[in-house]
Structure 1
Amino acid sequence: MPSRTLSADPRAERVRTLLRTAAFDLAHERPVDEITVGDLVARAGVSRQVFYRHFTDRDDAVATAVTVAFAAAVADIQGDARARVTSLFDFAAEHRAMYRNVVPSAVTQRVVMAFRDELLPACEEIAAQGMRVVGRIADVAPDAVSRFLVGGFQEVLRSWMEDPSPEDPASDLRARVSAALDTVDALLRLPSPTDSTPEKGTHHG
């Protein structure tokens, strides 16, 4: 069985990094379903035998490469929900060619879930801050609010992928994400039905 965790052997991790880099780069160049294990090992400069020590197949290598890249894009951002969401979408804009080659493909579900997993901490933070407003309006748990936010942000990405601005796709996505975040902020500041005074301190920006 291939190792699915980081190896304690630096040499093994270097090989794994080479394979992830090869998978990530090739996913920018052509649809994932057109990439072969032979392509990956040739790009990484390793043998098939070595490849199968680290990954089960092409899909495992590509999905792992994208998952690691998503995590790295927001690794240094803690406690700032807006910055985390914005950085994740900036990464998606920068690597739009890769995303288009991955979705749809055999690894679509794993990539979508990886994107969701990186969105979730920010959405949980926003939900926790907003419960003072939401909790007075509806009997809903914080995790339900988090899932709602994750779904909304994923829809922002999906709609942009289908119809980006041809002039400046990256700026277009950033504007859409900023608008979505501003909308969330505005909704969380709404007064309760029995209080006309806007809630304070619930923004996440």
Structure 2
Amino acid sequence: MATTPDRRVRRTRAALREALLDLMAERGYDAVTVQDIIDRADVGRSTFYNHYTDKDDLLRDNFADLRTIVAQPGTATTSAGHRLRFSLPLLRHVQQQRRLLLALLAGGGRTPVLRQVEQVLIDIVRDELTDRRSPDTGRIPIDAQARYTVGAYLALLQWWLTDQPQMAPDEADRIFQTLVTPGLRAGTRLAPTTDGSARPTR
């Protein structure tokens, strides 16, 4: 049976994404060129530019999946009772991509790659906080809370990957929730409910 164009497109994009991730883990994002990517993916230069404008565009395509990872089936059950739902499924994904994440976090600076990941996470957290509070209950702007939360998350992520690699994602998530929830509760007047989640107070 002939391969459909859509299937070929998906396969080509997947090959390019995988090539970029492998190369980033090996040598860092800044050292990777488009030529490196197409050589690793075994596609032509014109094929690359049919799909992406440059390697930054390809990178954005990789991290567009973060929302899908956070919203995957089972997330609501596995993270029930948590103040922030995004954390645990993302930690589980990170555990599977440990080598890549260590490459992203290497050097401690806010590289373009890390800034891209950070912005996607800020958008995810901002949406979640917006969904979970009433318009009249906020003391601190949601954007400030989202940036505070993501900063803490990335710091804990680096600690987990480098200092506690044997720790289970569930335990890393418990630590994150324990550290961050009081600040968010103070910022949005959230009080615990009987099931362990949080709700706005009046």
Alignment TM-score, normalising by the size of structure 1: 0.66
Aligned positions of 1:133-152 closer than 5 A? 135=137, 140=139, 144-145=141-142, 147-152=143-148
For residue 118 of structure 1, the aligned residue among 124, 146, 152 is: 124
Aligned positions of 1:1-205 closer than 5 A? 9-68=6-65, 70-77=66-73, 79=76, 80=80, 82-102=84-104, 104-125=110-131, 127-128=132-133, 135=137, 140=139, 144-145=141-142, 147-160=143-156, 163-164=159-160, 166=162, 168-169=164-165, 171=167, 175-183=171-179, 184=181, 188=185, 200-201=193-194, 203-204=196-197
Partner in structure 2 of residue 3 of structure 1: none
Which structure 1 residue ranges, 5 or more long, are not aligned?
Answer: 1-7, 193-197
1: CA distance between counterparts of 2:36 and 2:16?
10
2: CA distance between counterparts of 1:162 and 1:74?
19
How many Å apart are 1:163 and its aligned residue? Answer: 4.2
Letter in 1 for 2:124: E
2: CA distance between counterparts of 1:108 and 1:20?
17
Letter in 1 for 2:121: F
Secondary structure of 1:171 counterpart: coil
2: CA distance between counterparts of 1:166 and 1:24?
19
1: CA distance between counterparts of 2:88 and 2:195?
19
Alignment TM-score, normalising by the size of structure 2: 0.67
Among the aligned pairs, what percent are the same residue?
19
1:158-204 residue CA offsets vs partner (Å, 9 max, x unmatched): 32355447552362875454234235269749xx8xxxxx7645843
2: CA distance between counterparts of 1:174 and 1:36?
37
How many Å apart are 1:64 and its aligned residue? Answer: 1.7
> 1:85·1:122 contact (CA, 8 Å) conserved in 2?
no
1: CA distance between counterparts of 2:167 and 2:111?
26
Which structure 2 residue ranges, 5 or more long, are not aligned?
Answer: none
How many Å apart are 1:85 and its aligned residue? Answer: 1.8
The number of residues matched between the two structures is: 180
How many Å apart are 1:76 and its aligned residue? Answer: 1.6
> 2:98·2:161 contact (CA, 8 Å) conserved in 1?
no
Pairwise CA RMSD: 3.6
Letter in 1 for 2:118: V
1:41-75 residue CA offsets vs partner (Å, 9 max, x unmatched): 1121110100011111112212321332x233223
